[in-house]
Amino acid sequence: MVSVITIFVFIFGLIIGSFLNCVIYRLEKGKSLWGRSYCPHCKHTLIWTDLVPVFSFLFLKGRCRYCHKKISIQYPMVEILTALIFLLILNFQPLNLKFSILNLLFLLYIVSSLIVIFIYDLKHYLIPDKILFPAIIIAFIYNFLNFNYLLAAFIAFSFFLFIYLISKGQWMGFGDVKLSILLGLILGFPNILVGLFLSFFFGAIIGIGLIYLNKKGLKSEIPFAPFLIMGTFVAMFFGDRIIQCYFGFVF
């Protein structure tokens, strides 16, 4: 049976996802986060019935009420993705004496930041420092006294900086190097190893798939941050189990 808390968290995730869409769009346009929402095509100010997460998109059949231009599928996708990840946080780390409200707020903020970076880099091949740097600072302060997280950040940063330097920026951008610090501060050691392995695994599988479908060539540029974030999400929720299964299989 679905609990009231589960429904509340899912709806809250949809609302936050709608806000993240606003953040992504206004970052693209260099606009302030304050102010009324409007259609990106006709600039008409939206009313509250246009802004209900997912349901407005379905009700309007994916088109603006005023100019009838198509609404990007990104909007409901981000809203649903955010809601599902919020539910995963609640499911894997339920509120108890060991899991404080502060920890919950930290994870929700970090996850939200990663979703913005994921979509922004996917669209623009660029990691926004306005989102990345505050997340790094908050994660560093939050885990300042935990050596495992600081070690993970150092390992991830050193590894990516090495790749960046030997390839002279051809294999990955410096934004990925900066992002690796945040991922280390999120995952800690040894989960960062799981996250990095999965990131390259996802990147290889999807890259090969795109080449096979003639969507990309061998020399085509592919944003790597989405793969890093995908690997991080899996390691956040399943990292310990993956490590246990690995050692159980090997030994």
Instruction: State the DSSP H helix or E strand holding residue 85, giving kind and residue range, or none if neither.
Output: helix 74-92
The contacts of residue 183 (CB under 8 Å, 6+ apart) are: 152, 156, 192, 195, 228, 229, 232
Model pLDDT, residue 97: 47
Give the integer Cα–Cα distance in Å for 151 and 103.
Answer: 20
Q: CA-to-CA distance for 44 and 42, rounded, in angstroms?
A: 5
Report helix, strand or coil for 138.
helix
Q: Residue 184 and residue 198: Cα distance in Å, rounded?
A: 14
pLDDT per residue as tens digits for the range 184-193: 999 999 999 9
> Is residue 87 a contact partner of residue 3, using CB atoms and an 8 Å limit?
no
Query: pLDDT tens digit string along 63-106?
Result: 888 898 898 899 999 999 999 999 988 887 655 545 577 888 89
DSSP string for 198-212:
HHHHHHHHHHHHHHH
Return the pLDDT at 121: 94
pLDDT of residue 114: 97
pLDDT at 35: 75
- In the predicted model, residues of the chain with pLDDT beneath 50 are 97
**pLDDT of the residue at 216:** 67
